[in-house]
Amino acid sequence: MFWGKKSIEDKIKAKVKATLSKKVAELINNNLAVCIEFDGDGKIEASLGDTKYGGSPHFITADKVPVYENRPLKLLAQINCKDLSPLENFPHEGMLYVFMDVEEEPTAFPEKRGQFKVLYIPMIDLSDTAGSLPEKDAYKLIPIQTYSIHENQSYIFDGIDVPEEDVYKIIDLQYGLIAEIVGQFGSQTIGGVPDMQALWGWAYQHLGYVDADGVLDWKRVEASEGEAANKAEQILKDFELVYTTILDSHGHTDSWIHIGIHKEDLNNRNFSNVYATFVST
- Out of 19-28, 75-84, 124-133, 238-247, pick the least confident: 124-133
Top pLDDT among 198 and 252 is at 198
Residue 184 is given by DSSP the state: S
8 A C-beta contact, residue 188 and residue 144: no
Instruction: Give the pLDDT confidence score for residue 38 in this predicted structure.
Output: 85
Residue 64 is given by DSSP the state: G
For the segment 47-60, the average pLDDT, to the nearest whole number, is 88
Question: Among residues of the chain, what percentage have pLDDT more than 90?
Answer: 17
Is the pLDDT confidence value at 161 over 80?
A: yes
Instruction: Give the pLDDT confidence score for residue 184 in this predicted structure.
Output: 46
CA distance to 63, 116, 185, 196, per residue, from 260 (Å): 26, 12, 20, 12
Instruction: Give the pLDDT confidence score for residue 105 in this predicted structure.
Output: 67
8 A C-beta contact, residue 120 and residue 96: yes
Domains of the chain (ranges, CATH numbers): 5-280 (2.30.320.10)
CA distance to 86, 93, 108, 213, 260, per residue, from 276 (Å): 23, 23, 8, 14, 6
Top pLDDT among 185 and 60 is at 60
Instruction: Give the pLDDT confidence score for residue 1 in this predicted structure.
Output: 40
- Out of 32-36, 86-90, 153-157, 240-244, pick the least confident: 240-244
Q: How many CB atoms lie within 10 A of CB 265?
A: 17
> What whole-number distance in Å separates Cα of residue 167 and Cα of residue 17?
14
Q: pLDDT tens across 66-102, in order?
A: 998 888 998 988 999 999 999 988 999 999 999 988 7
Top pLDDT among 188 and 214 is at 188
Q: pLDDT tens across 209-263, in order?
A: 877 666 778 788 788 777 777 777 777 677 777 777 765 544 445 667 778 788 8
Average pLDDT, rounded, for the chain: 78
> What does pTM read for this prediction?
0.80
Query: Would you give the distance in Å from CA 33 to the centre of its chain?
Result: 13
- Out of 56-70, 107-121, 174-188, pick the least confident: 174-188
